């Protein structure tokens, strides 16, 4: 494959995926399409922007004419689709924007790919990046597998579930060659500080309260973002058409335990005395429809493609904290402007 479109490549996970593809495959032409919403930031990929096999295109996946013209012009052979509205809390206050970007935007890309690949499906691939949240919430036991029925509870997860269904439907109805992966919670460098780990790192640095929702007993499985990018590379090249793969870290944490570990590590890194940051923990009103537990059975990708996480959670968390502490300017840029209004509205 030569010409590949990656959508959402200025965002958190997308920037790591773009970097991986651009640096691992110098013979590919990588096009990064991103609308640069509040979550998109070209600083995330400034280190690779000079490379000859990389092109950035600013544009909106929901713009029908623009997307059709783009596909006609470049005749992409592969699409790795990450562009999305991605934050559950924002989906609760503004669900329609999630339908627009995540459902309609995905449909628009599917249509454009279907049109240019019409009679030449060989060697083409539409790779849709999704989330474990489409499966809904687990009780105290059990794991999500690729055959777990979809049961989304938030507007975010419902919009992602819907987009997954459309991708699969295009595969069944039009023969579109696709793969889907459903991944657990990512963490790592360049994560926008609205999600749990980067938000709490930012607040600890600034001695601000750490707003733990409900009783803090909610459980997530955490994966280092670079391990997700490696998995995406593997599935793009070696995954089977019309298949889904679950990706996870084999790494479940209750929120409150994770926050306590984070506080302890931040105190060490910041030279603060032990027990300083845990005092910032503040239990706040719960998120409506809050899913109790997500946990992934990633044995399919492990057994079929030989993937597994390369770093432990402790290593990944250390690297993440170090990155935030040495990228103060990045944090300042992304927490000015719109972020302040968002924070006020969400946490006041
Ligand atoms: P993010 O919010 O950090 O980045 C999303 C990117 O998409 C941003 O650069 C934004 O500018 C761009 N974008 C948004 N709307 C767009 C539009 N209409 N047109 C073009 N670009 C647009 O998200 P993320 O955390 O990097 O997630 C990337 C993908 O991975 C999403 O599809 C998400 O559902 C999925 N995912 C995320 C996680 C996670 O833990 N963050 C886990 C599993 C799956
Ligand atoms: P988040 O990072 O938003 O990811 P997701 O909702 O997609 O899992 O939240 C992770 C967990 O942390 C989730 O159980 C909600 C909780 N949480 C808080 O307790 N406080 C916060 O301020 C945020 C943003 C999340």
pLDDT tens for 32-47 read 999 999 999 999 999 9
- Is residue 131 within 8 Å of residue 157, measured between CB atoms? yes
Which H/E stretch holds residue 183?
strand 178-183
> Both tokens of residue 253?
């944490």
- End-to-end, the C-alpha distance of the chain in Å comes to 49
Residues 6+ apart with CB under 8 A from 311: 224, 226, 227, 319
How far, in Å, is the centroid of ligand 2 from the Cα of 194?
A: 9
Query: What pLDDT is stored for residue 1 in this prediction?
Result: 62
Strands 3-7 and 219-224: unpaired
In ligand 1, which atom is closest to the CA atom of 61? 19
Ligand 2 center from residue 322 Cα (angstroms): 21
Closest ligand relative to 197 C-alpha:
2
Indicate the helix (H) or strand (E) that contains 53.
none
**What is the spatial distance between Cα 287 and Cα 342, in angstroms, rounded to a whole number?**
15
Which whole number is the average pLDDT over 171-191?
98
| CATH 3.60.9.10 is the classification of domain 3-191+222-252+293-312+341-347 | no
DSSP label of 28: S
Q: Which residues are paired to 58 by β-bridges?
A: 34
Reported as a single tens digit per residue, the pLDDT across 232-261 is 999 999 999 999 999 999 999 999 999 999
Question: Catalytic amino acids?
Answer: 132-133, 156
User: What residues pair up with 33 in beta bridges, in sequence order?
Assistant: 7, 57
Q: For the chain, which residues make up each domain, given as ranges?
A: 3-191+222-252+293-312+341-347
Residues with CB under 6 A from ligand 1: 7-8, 10-14, 34-37, 39-40, 60-62, 82-86, 101, 105, 129, 131, 160, 183, 185-186, 192
**Closest Cα to atom 41 of ligand 1:** 186
Between the CA of 156 and the centroid of ligand 1 the distance, in Å, is 11
Strand ranges, E, within 9-159: 29-34, 54-58, 78-81, 125-131
For a ligand 1 pocket test, name from 7, 10, 12 the mutation site with the most ligand atoms within 8 angstroms of its C-beta.
12
Alpha-carbon span 280 to 286, nearest angstrom:
18
Rounded (to 5) percent helix, strand, coil in the chain: 45, 20, 35
Pairing between β-strand 125-131 and β-strand 29-34 as defined by DSSP bridges: unpaired
pLDDT band at 84 (very low <50, low <70, confident <90, very high): very high
Quick one: which H or E segment has residue 219?
strand 219-224
Three-class SS of residue 151?
coil
Cα-trace Rg, the chain = 20
**Candidates 130, 136, 213, 256: which one to mutate for ligand 2, based on the most atoms within 8 Å of Cβ?**
213
- Binned at pLDDT 50, 70 and 90, residue 119 comes out as confident
pTM of the shown model = 0.99
Cα torsion 6, 16, 210, 335 to 10°: value is -70
Whether the pLDDT of residue 276 is over 90: the answer is: yes
């Amino acid at each position: 494959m030569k010409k590949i479109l990656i959508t959402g490549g200025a965002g958190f996970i997308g920037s790591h995926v773009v970097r991986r593809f651009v640096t691992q495959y110098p013979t590919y032409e990588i096009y990064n399409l991103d609308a640069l919403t509040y979550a998109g930031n070209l600083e995330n990929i400034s280190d690779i922007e000079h490379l000859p096999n990389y092109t950035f295109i600013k544009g909106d996946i929901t713009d029908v004419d623009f997307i059709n013209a783009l596909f006609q012009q470049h005749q992409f052979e592969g699409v790795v689709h990450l562009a999305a509205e991605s934050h559950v809390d924002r989906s609760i206050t503004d669900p329609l924007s999630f339908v627009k970007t995540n459902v309609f935007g995905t449909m628009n890309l599917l249509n454009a790919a279907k049109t240019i690949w019409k009679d030449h499906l060989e060697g083409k691939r539409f790779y849709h990046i999704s989330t474990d949240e489409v499966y809904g919430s687990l009780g105290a036991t059990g794991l999500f597998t690729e055959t777990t029925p979809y049961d989304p509870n938030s507007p975010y997860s419902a919009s992602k579930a819907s987009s997954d269904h459309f991708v699969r439907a295009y595969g069944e109805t039009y023969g579109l060659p696709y793969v889907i992966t459903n991944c657990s919670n990512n963490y790592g460098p360049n994560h926008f500080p609205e999600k749990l780990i980067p938000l709490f790192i930012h607040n600890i640095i600034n001695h601000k309260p750490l707003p733990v929702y409900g009783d803090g007993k909610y459980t997530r499985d955490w994966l280092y973002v670079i391990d997700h990018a490696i998995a995406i590379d593997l599935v793009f090249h070696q995954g089977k058409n019309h298949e889904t793969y679950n990706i996870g870290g084999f790494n479940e944490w209750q929120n409150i335990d994770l926050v306590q570990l984070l506080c302890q590590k931040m105190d060490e890194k910041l030279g603060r005395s032990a027990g300083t940051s845990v005092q910032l923990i503040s239990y706040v009103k719960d998120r409506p429809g809050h899913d109790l537990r997500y946990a992934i059975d990633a044995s399919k990708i492990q057994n079929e493609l030989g993937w597994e996480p390369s770093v432990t959670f402790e290593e990944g968390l250390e690297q993440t904290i170090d990155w935030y502490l040495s990228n103060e300017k990045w944090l300042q840029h992304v927490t000015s402007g719109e972020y302040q209004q968002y924070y006020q509205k969400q946490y006041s």
